Chain A
Amino acid sequence: MRGLYVIWLRDVKRFVRARSRLIGSLGMPIFFMIFFSLGFRRANIPSLESLNYIDFLIPGIVSMVVLFTGTFSGVSVVWDRQFGFLREIMVSPVSRTTIALGRIFSGATTAIFQATVMFLLGIALGFNFRIQMLPFFFLSLFLTALVFTGIGIAISTKMKDIHGFQIVVNFFVFPVFLLSGALFPISELPEILRSISKLNPLTYGVDAARWASIGFCEIDPLVDFSVLILCSVLTTFLASYLFNKTEVE
């Protein structure tokens, strides 16, 4: 427990000190949120019925930020590997499982922080949400964060340098984002893509966030949360397992 806190604290401190990275990483989602909500303001998407597109979009963009930040927390592990600091942690008496958990929680913390910034921006843009369900909204974000930080950390154990992560962005993060229903309802997708999106954990995260914030959902919220919990447990185990096996040069 002690080790978990120490590792978490160091990551969060680093995050706070690197303010430029924080702002840089929010640039794209901010533009997404502003321009999509303006551009599709009057669009007529049949399965949305009377729903405002902006209310539909904001939980999607907030979840997207969680996906990006979460997966990218793996970069900090690769970074530590390149700069040597990973060795300092890996020869310490803190167990590898604890190290992995510490990093997953710090990744989730930064993801939730970024998501909150986006959520506040959404409010400024006129987001119409159910305030009494806010805890569920953040619970869904937290579970999504665990799933994707777990995946990010797991990937990082297989990477020797930062460049490899570019591939992860192109072939993992973007497809996951686009197939999650963050920008449009999955019921608008052709049958085959819709089946694929059902295999995507982010689909359930977005749906849960949307259900909690605006009451709109395409899947049973109970299913959403069950899938999220199951996936976060699985990815946490996977990340710890790989962390236990990894060698550090």
Chain B
Amino acid sequence: MKAVVVENLVKDFGNFRAIDCVSFEVEEGEVFGILGPNGAGKTTTIKILITLLKPTKGRAFVAGYDVLKSASDVRKNIGVVFQETTLELEFTARENLDFHARLYGMSKAEREKRIEEMLNLVELESFSDKLVKTFSGGMKRRLEIARGFLHNPKILFLDEPTLGLDAKTRRKIWKYIEELKGSSTIVLTTHYIEEAEKLCDRIVVMNKGKIVAMDSPKNLKAEDRVVIYSSKEDLDLIKKNFGSLIVSEDDGKVELLVKDVESFIPKLFEVAKVKEMSIKRSTLEDAYIKMVE
């Protein structure tokens, strides 16, 4: 069974179309990223999936349940970290987690164990009994993440989870998400390309409510540009073997576009001698910027 299925989803706010006919599927155990500029419709898509907003048109299924017809079954299977804070500011960190754990019907023993684990993960142990309204932005973010993970949901929706976190905490969260890979399904949005590239099995790029690309981070990247300087004989050999990759040639040099440089270089060295070579690696960010321009 697919963890998430989205079919021709449309969401209008008044006469503004925030999501325009979006379709995608998320496999069980996958980490699925949604990338896109501000206002692309990422949060709106997530809000429909977690049953807070109702789709204008189209259908969506989470854990096999229709978000419109079986909203309460959907809610039993998900955990959410929202983009904006949704903590009870008048409560302490521990009270927030305890409230959440009780809301999800966790037993006392389980509650206590998981709360310690999660406070530990986000390094808030020493602040656990302080009121959340006295927390810094990053601390609130950390608590929010701890709460989303607390009840071990089958499917996690993380809307810009590491926004505003310091580098060290961000790494810890990444590590935790990687540990969850395979056992939980994770749908996350982010503006950090590095994060998407590191964590996600697949990425969908949204722009102005539409999907503009969907693939693995590796496939989304453009080819790397390789320039080789060599003798005429060697260049001829290269042309013979990798002709289809060549984009331009000049006296004593050729320029190629290569999808997978790591495996290209050994092959190249088998074929010809190289005097000098330069590689310009394309990044996911370059590819992304091109897509949303």
Task: Please state if B72 and A91 are interface contacts (CB–CB under 8 Å).
Answer: no
Task: Please state if A6 and B103 are interface contacts (CB–CB under 8 Å).
Answer: yes
Say whether B52 faces chain A, with CB atoms less than 8 Å apart.
yes
Task: Please state if B104 and A90 are interface contacts (CB–CB under 8 Å).
Answer: no
- Size band of the B side of the interface? 20 to 34
Task: Please state if B88 and A85 are interface contacts (CB–CB under 8 Å).
Answer: yes
List the interface of chain B (C-beta within 8 A of A).
Answer: 47, 50-54, 72, 75-76, 78, 80, 82, 84-91, 99-100, 102-105, 147
Point out the residues of chain B lying under 8 angstroms from A162, CB to CB: none
**A56-99 contact mask (Cβ, 8 Å, vs B): 1 or 0:** 00000000000000000000000000011111111111110000
A92 to B91 CA separation, bound complex (whole angstroms): 18
28 intermolecular pairs with C-beta atoms under 8 Å apart: A6-B103, A10-B88, A14-B88, A14-B90, A18-B90, A83-B85, A84-B82, A84-B86, A84-B87, A85-B86, A85-B88, A87-B82, A87-B86, A88-B82, A88-B88, A88-B100, A89-B103, A91-B50, A91-B52, A91-B75, A91-B78, A92-B75, A92-B104, A95-B72, A247-B54, A248-B52, A248-B53, A249-B52
> Which has the most chain B C-beta neighbours within 10 Å: A89, A91, A248?
A91
Residue from A6, A17, A90 in contact with B102 in the complex, judged by beta carbons closer than 8 Å? A6
Contact flag A10-B99 (CB < 8 Å), given A92-B75, A92-B104, A93-B104: yes
Point out the residues of chain A lying under 8 angstroms from B87, CB to CB: 84-85, 88
List the interface of chain A (C-beta within 8 A of B).
Answer: 2-3, 6-7, 10, 13-14, 17-18, 83-95, 247-249
Point out the residues of chain A lying under 8 angstroms from B104, CB to CB: 92-93
Residue from B52, B54, B88 in contact with A90 in the complex, judged by beta carbons closer than 8 Å? B52
Task: Please state if B53 and A249 are interface contacts (CB–CB under 8 Å).
Answer: yes
CB B166 to nearest CB in A, in angstroms, measures: 23
Point out the residues of chain B lying under 8 angstroms from A249, CB to CB: 47, 52-53
A105 to B68 CA separation, bound complex (whole angstroms): 28
Name the CB-closest residue of B to A87: B86
Point out the residues of chain A lying under 8 angstroms from B75, CB to CB: 91-93
CB A188 to nearest CB in B, in angstroms, measures: 45
A212 to B82 CA separation, bound complex (whole angstroms): 50
Main SS class of interface, A: helix
A2 to B89 CA separation, bound complex (whole angstroms): 23
CB A102 to nearest CB in B, in angstroms, measures: 11
Apart from the given pairs A2-B102, A249-B52, 18 other A-B contacts in the complex at a CB distance below 8 Å: A10-B88, A10-B91, A17-B90, A83-B85, A84-B82, A84-B85, A84-B86, A85-B87, A87-B52, A91-B51, A91-B75, A91-B78, A91-B80, A92-B75, A92-B104, A93-B76, A94-B103, A247-B54
Task: Please state if B53 and A247 are interface contacts (CB–CB under 8 Å).
Answer: yes
A87 to B47 CA separation, bound complex (whole angstroms): 10
Point out the residues of chain B lying under 8 angstroms from A94, CB to CB: 103
A84 to B78 CA separation, bound complex (whole angstroms): 18
Contact flag A3-B88 (CB < 8 Å), given A91-B80, A248-B52: no
Name the CB-closest residue of A to B54: A247
Point out the residues of chain A lying under 8 angstroms from B88, CB to CB: 10, 14, 85, 88
Point out the residues of chain B lying under 8 angstroms from A90, CB to CB: 51-52
A14 to B52 CA separation, bound complex (whole angstroms): 24
Point out the residues of chain A lying under 8 angstroms from B85, CB to CB: 83-84
Name the CB-closest residue of A to B95: A13
Name the CB-closest residue of B to A15: B90
Point out the residues of chain A lying under 8 angstroms from B51, CB to CB: 90-91
A177 to B78 CA separation, bound complex (whole angstroms): 45
Task: Please state if B72 and A93 are interface contacts (CB–CB under 8 Å).
Answer: yes
A179 to B149 CA separation, bound complex (whole angstroms): 52
